[in-house]
Structure 1
């Protein structure tokens, strides 16, 4: 599994669960290794207490800590395999007569064991001694590096039972972009419908990641003036994999869902979309366009030429070269002012639009917002992280995180989003980390993913029904979190 060492904390809890399992405890007492396993648990707990500091120091380029985390990761995986092997072997031997309860590490003459069982115990003894030495070395290096223990609760995240918005729905608070919204509305509704129109007006919204391009497009898409002006509206998320088939199908589903399901080829999809848009004035939003291939762009546009004059296409993109390919007047977004960011932060962190009732948090809030550099996505991510706590210490933890010190050319995701991940509860963090095995923009089936989580031992429940319900809750919590972050691609970029 290609999970970087920074996510080790998500999986250490799995080993704790193994060590605490009733079956293993019973076997350990029978074999006389319960004291050793308890010692392992104690040492691993001391390591768990410093993982937060280790994660932060690795993010800032501490190579010694990185190597330590690599060794710890390998040891944790080896320990988990060994414990599973012990339990499996015990199950195989249940039909055999049980030996008397004597210490596992005594010589063979003291055992009433079969030859196979004796050889297995010798192999396990050797492995456990080797792992015990590795664990002692890791503890020694931990002390030398002076990793700091964290005794509080790192996670400020609490699951909220909020409805999940769809891709095109507007956000609860939209500020700082009203002028841009009016500019786009004028471009959308400023032409008369007087016959066919061979060229479609395109409106690209351009800006760096996190500026709110999608939020602005959502506002325009759902405005009443737009609804009254166009016969058909459609929204398609493009992303960096420019799949003409998928984009065309998602647009056709708006006009005729049944046909979209029946069409199996791109030719049939484009033919049906051409018929469904013929003689109609439409608005299509292509959200998050990356592809710079002009031929792909022209090929995608073929069915749209059947619409009438007044039809429009809105494109959101972070790349000015892509916007230029669209060949239209650009709507360029700049960073939000500090005052707007403070209002946005207060709304998502405190549920109000100012700090009047929380003066003790205003200074900390302003310092956190300044680190977001005017990016609404970063502001919302950190505000959401602090939404359920008014404890100044937790706000200071966010402000003083070492992740802010990483040079911009060494990080490929907003520090605010990385912080949001690092502050997840361990059970959600390890399930989220598991998703890194999937390719970019892979369509993950919910039920299959939950089954895989359960099979990997990532779901904290014993009975099958309870495991499924717990896994479903994990999934819903992660979907809500990812939607707060603003893009499903966060799953990919955090792990690159």
Structure 2
């Protein structure tokens, strides 16, 4: 669609002109962004004016104050939940309460907005008590009291300083002695880029303002790829290659992380270059000393695991590099493509590192898992199982290495089969390093992007999704920050999506037209699923026997195995479900006459409701208008011939999809009452 292409170009241009504050705030707990949404609603003018002077206002104020206290310990809780099941359970209980607070506020806000005109003309008809479930609010206050008490028992602490990086072994320039498979061409290409002083640029980025000629002396090569793909291993091999040994006067390796301290990094650089301890402690003195050490030198530096996507930080870090001579090189490894865009040098060449072939991945696995095992029947069997395990690694050498190392001393066929047949993400983290590797990428996402990423666990593995489709769902679920003046929610969603692509959380599928289709790597999907926990449920079949947790808020599925019935466990335990989303829906027998009314009457908190491809669904009940929280309604591919007028009562509805509803010929008379409707898809239909 032309408007989408235009919008994308506008966003790209805007991002080049300014560094949006959206990306300068990193880290933070998943629940932090959710609480911000709740606080935003509590501070909204019509809520404040509605509650002012009322008794119920004191209860809401208590809720707010308790949530503020809880918010302070969320960062500590998010880190500790990985190893402490009690903390994880505490977070789940808290999240469940926050969902209920959000639902209650949404209900009050919606009722206030829709009854505003009524209250002006008939003030006596406006009854706040009927709009607020006071007993439920009191129950929430009591539950928050219990949650706060547990913070003491769990010894949760407020983290005021900069985030400590999750426990991770710092990579060094030393090789581990294992051969590198499948990277010969990548290594050859990078060495070629490092040895040339000029040539055709793969990418050239000129920042705001004119650079002096000093910026032409140093050029940068960036290895960019998803976590676990082997960027550091490749950089290490290049760093130690004999072809580069006599090319540069100075050579050094530096490991950077998200919470890097420019003074500490500069001091480390001096110590690496001089091979002596540095006693200086002032940044200016340190930079002058490093500049002196690099003067008239041709140097080669590796900056490993770089997350700096702020131009000013890059400039501050690299000022001393300008004293080097022409031909000096910096090799950067990063998961974030945006890092290369803000490097303050004229010449930046980007090498995207892809996944290994299955055979090369197998060789990585075999090097770590079969070092001492002699040939024989047992080894033949283990190799067969091992090759199936490697398929799960999906081309990521880090996954192959981690699993291979874990199985290195396990020679029993039973042990290998257990790995093959189980979810590897349930393994203890001290045995399988791939989870920490991916968690680091997730950990440093801004909190609002964490929610968006976890939401994608509703998609099945290898599902190809479109950017705009996902953004509309994010918008309906209130996962997008309210935009600044002059920017739309859709533009915010595009920025979120593009950032997740640039950091390898999403990847182009390669099979879609014009690059519009995206997928999540299986390992990323597993990470999202583990983070979603009880609140997200993905079922292949929904039926009488389908189990669902009482905390579940988001549900996706591909088929019904039984006629829709009010005896479904989904309706009994999942009454607070917000998302009812068929994906790759398979047409199965179900009671079409009662299906819609049963689902709508039982799931009254829905924000996303899709009956897409329910071929036998030919009508919606009038009760659809009672879903006051609903933002997204998808009836595409159904047999619906008319829409009930009650659809026009859906004050919050943002998206109405009627694609391929070939029997639909008209819209309800009161469609103009949908004041928040942003997207109406009626192509192809025969609407007059």
What is the TM-score when the length of structure 1 is the normalising length?
A: 0.49
Structure of higher RCO (CA pairs closer than 8 Å, 6+ residues apart): 1
What is the TM-score when the length of structure 2 is the normalising length?
A: 0.36
